[in-house]
């Protein structure tokens, strides 16, 4: 299927690793041009060392998105380089464990890492998105609806992302701008692997989690997340807005008799 993304300009935040990196490769394969705003240089050599990969072009913008000026500069650099922005993918964030008892400052810092820059980037890109009748995709988390424990800042931020997705879909519909959210649950990424490796028996913990995922009893791949993101960003999804979509093999919402591991 031709997703009709050739020569579209995409700004991705946090695209140097994990889900963000797969999102970038998926857009590039469709012929889109991507700007990656991230604090870290991509470890992927195709992105770090070459100006172009696959059919699309790639631009790396080093940016600490907790700095609001950096958010505005990332938008400005993208427009300066490509001349437009058609799609914004808000992805950068980290489950930083800022929980109850860690103090208000830790909670506030977590909101800056995980929520505030979502608003700042979209606000900075708004004129460009209105011109292109563009798309915003927010990457959220199942923690926004399930809770997790010990991570109040991250949970509040992800809940805010769900709310902003619906709010912006209403605000921006008159301009033809679509806004949706994609929520991963248990997704295999380098960060997830590092978390498992902190356990005394990583394989046993992974098996316990996979038993709770009805579809295939396996973790979601980051490729499956990125495929959904790119489809929602494409004109093939032209009448979809305000949706919060879980890509999780049924982990969050299916009946507990389906998700109770043996």
Catalytically active residues are: 154
Q: What is the DSSP letter of 135?
A: E
Q: Where is 106: in which H helix or E strand?
A: helix 104-111
Rounded Cα–Cα distance for residues 239 and 43 (Å): 36
Question: Do residues 213 and 260 lie in contact, with contact meaning Cβ atoms separated by under 8 Å?
Answer: no
Q: What is the DSSP letter of 235?
A: G
Q: Which segments of 217-261 does DSSP mark as H helices, in order?
A: 222-233, 256-259
Rounded Cα–Cα distance for residues 201 and 187 (Å): 19
Question: Do residues 35 and 12 lie in contact, with contact meaning Cβ atoms separated by under 8 Å?
Answer: yes
């Amino acid at each position: 299927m031709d997703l009709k993304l050739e020569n579209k300009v995409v700004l991705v935040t946090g695209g140097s690793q994990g889900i963000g990196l797969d999102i970038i490769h998926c857009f590039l394969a469709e012929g889109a041009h991507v700007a990656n705003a991230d604090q870290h240089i991509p470890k992927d050599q195709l992105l770090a060392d070459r100006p172009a990969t696959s059919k699309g072009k790639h631009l790396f913008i080093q940016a600490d998105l907790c700095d609001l000026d950096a958010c505005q500069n990332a938008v400005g650099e993208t427009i300066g380089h490509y001349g437009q922005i058609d799609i914004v993918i808000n992805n950068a964030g980290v489950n930083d464990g800022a929980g109850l008892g860690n103090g208000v400052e830790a909670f506030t810092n977590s909101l800056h890492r995980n929520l505030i820059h979502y608003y700042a980037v979209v606000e900075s890109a708004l004129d460009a998105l209105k011109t292109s009748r563009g798309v915003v995709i927010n990457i959220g988390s199942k923690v926004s609806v399930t809770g997790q424990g010990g991570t109040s800042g991250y949970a509040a931020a992800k809940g805010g992302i769900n709310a902003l997705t619906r709010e912006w879909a209403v605000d921006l519909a008159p301009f033809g701008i679509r806004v949706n959210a994609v929520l991963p649950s248990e997704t295999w990424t380098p960060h997830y692997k590092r978390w498992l490796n902190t356990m005394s028996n990583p394989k046993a913990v992974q098996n316990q989690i996979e038993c709770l995922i009805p579809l295939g009893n396996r973790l979601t791949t980051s490729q499956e997340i990125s495929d959904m993101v790119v489809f929602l960003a494409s004109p093939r999804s032209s009448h979809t807005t305000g949706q919060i979509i879980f890509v999780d093999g049924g982990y969050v919402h299916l009946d507990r008799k389906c998700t109770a591991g043996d």
